[in-house]
């Protein structure tokens, strides 16, 4: 996608989001009702097939052109000791993604998905959001457009993920600012912080909330409390919607990118599936706010699109059943 010319263009897009193709949805629903099984017996697999049919605008959805995009960025607040790992790990993991050694390489491979890694300004972390906005308006728009750029019209599914040491702090701040609740409701261990470090993380989120209170426009909130990779995720979700590309979201940090948008436009995630609920305690709360039901609950808490990539296997199963099953008439099975 060419992207958004300005913050105003992004916010204007949020007001005119397209819906699914209702005729394709209806045709898929009708097909489900004549496949050789009791009505509804494939449970959510049926819903997933109908969901994809609507967004892909075809009665029989497919997953031939599916892509995982992992955005990476660094965070100024990492210097405050909010992560169990140093910021250098972000770039080190990007190298690992490129060399094929990360969890997402194995899981994307297992799910038959192409992996795209998009590092954003790794040498230039965001500013510490306890002192000022994380990004300038330009930086934020560049990041949003880097996200939009992974969306090609005709993609069958876009699987999203992130890498960025310190970004679970940004994610908690975005959620607390966007929805009700205090920092304690949204801050969790991330890579595994506890004790004094967890208290520092809480204090950082509280300071960010106090400093940026009142900035409630979606992009402005992303700019002040988010990060390059988080803004890119938001750009990818909105660009995918405009191109009617269905999206599979990953864990807490990935989903936090849409929190500021969902406050203004609750239906912004209608083209999204939640791949899983992660072990980060606030993820379930966030999914509740977004009105998304996760496909899996495997106790994963990694990020990198790893949970979403596993869930892509479920989506593939839904598509296979919908496409390959015989109808009652074709198979000569009595339909009751
Ligand atoms: C080796 C390694 C690989 C990762 N892959 C994803 N994350 C995850 O951990 C980070 C968020 O946690 P926090 O806010 O505590 O830093 C993000 O990069 C997220 O993607 C990783 C973290 C590490 C250390
Ligand atoms: O929910 C996630 O995706 C997550 C949780 C902890 C650390 N990194 C990612």
Q: Could you tell me if residue 248 is inside a domain?
A: yes
pLDDT in tens, 225-238: 999 999 999 999 99
Residue 44's H or E segment, with its range, is helix 44-56
Q: Could you tell me if residue 213 is inside a domain?
A: yes
> Above 90 in pLDDT, residue 2?
no
CATH, residue 135: 3.40.50.10210
Q: Could you tell me if residue 89 is inside a domain?
A: yes
Q: Could you tell me if residue 132 is inside a domain?
A: yes
Q: Could you tell me if residue 218 is inside a domain?
A: yes
Cα→Cα distances 265→11, 15, 234, 304, Å: 10, 8, 13, 26
Going by pLDDT thresholds of 50, 70 and 90, the confidence category of residue 218 is very high
Q: Are 248 and 315 in contact (CB under 8 A)?
A: yes
Ligand 1 neighbour 278 (Cβ under 6 A): no
DSSP 8-class letter at 5: S
Q: What is the DSSP string of 275-334?
A: -B--SSTHHHHHHHHHT---SB-------TTHHHHHHHHHHHHHHHHHHHPPBHHHHT--
Ligand 1 neighbour 85 (Cβ under 6 A): yes
Q: Could you tell me if residue 35 is inside a domain?
A: no
What percent of the chain has pLDDT above 90? 98
Cα of 323 vs centre of ligand 2, distance in Å, is: 34
User: Which residue among 71, 194, 252 has the greatest number of ligand 2 atoms within 8 angstroms of its CB, and so is best to mutate?
Assistant: 252
> Above 80 in pLDDT, residue 21?
yes
Rounded-to-integer distance, Cα 19 and Cα 307, Å? 26
> Above 80 in pLDDT, residue 194?
yes
> Above 80 in pLDDT, residue 125?
yes
> Above 80 in pLDDT, residue 3?
yes
How many separate domains does the chain show? 1
Q: Could you tell me if residue 192 is inside a domain?
A: yes
Does the annotation mark 152 as catalytic?
no
Q: Could you tell me if residue 333 is inside a domain?
A: no
> Above 90 in pLDDT, residue 160?
yes
Specify the pLDDT at position 180. Answer: 86
Specify the pLDDT at position 336. Answer: 87
Domain that holds residue 122: 7-18+63-311
Going by pLDDT thresholds of 50, 70 and 90, the confidence category of residue 301 is very high
Specify the pLDDT at position 26. Answer: 98
> Closest ligand 2 atom to the C-alpha of 283?
1
């Amino acid at each position: 996608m060419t992207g958004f010319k300005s913050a105003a263009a992004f916010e204007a897009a949020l007001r005119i989001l397209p819906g699914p193709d209702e005729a394709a949805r209806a045709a898929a629903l009708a097909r489900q009702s004549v496949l050789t099984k009791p009505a509804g017996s494939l449970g959510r697999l049926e819903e997933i097939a109908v969901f994809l049919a609507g967004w892909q605008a075809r009665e029989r959805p497919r997953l031939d052109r599916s892509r995982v995009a992992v955005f990476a960025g660094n965070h100024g607040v990492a210097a405050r000791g909010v992560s169990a790992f140093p910021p250098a790990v972000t770039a080190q993991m990007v190298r690992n993604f490129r060399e094929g050694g990360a969890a997402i390489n194995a899981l994307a491979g297992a799910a038959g998905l192409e992996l795209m890694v998009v590092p954003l300004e790794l040498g230039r972390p965001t500013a510490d959001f306890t002192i000022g906005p994380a990004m300038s308006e330009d930086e934020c728009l560049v990041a949003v457009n880097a996200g939009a750029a992974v969306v090609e019209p005709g993609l069958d599914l876009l699987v999203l993920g992130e890498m960025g040491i310190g970004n679970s702090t940004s994610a908690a701040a975005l959620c607390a600012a966007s929805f009700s609740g205090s920092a304690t409701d949204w801050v969790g261990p991330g890579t595994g912080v506890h004790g004094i470090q967890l208290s520092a993380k809480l204090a950082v989120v509280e300071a960010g909330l106090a400093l940026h209170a009142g900035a409630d426009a979606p992009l402005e909130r992303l700019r002040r409390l988010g990060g390059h990779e988080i803004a890119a995720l938001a750009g990818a979700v909105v660009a995918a919607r405009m191109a009617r590309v269905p999206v599979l979201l990953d864990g807490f940090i990935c989903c936090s990118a849409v929190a500021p948008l969902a406050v203004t436009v609750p239906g912004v995630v209608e083209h999204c599936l939640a791949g899983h609920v992660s072990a980060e305690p606030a993820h379930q709360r966030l999914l509740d706010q977004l009105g998304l039901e996760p496909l899996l609950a495997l106790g994963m808490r990694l990020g990198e699109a790893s949970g979403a990539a596993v869930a892509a296997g479920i989506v593939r199963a839904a598509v296979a059943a919908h496409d390959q099953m015989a109808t009652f008439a074709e198979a000569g099975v009595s339909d009751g």
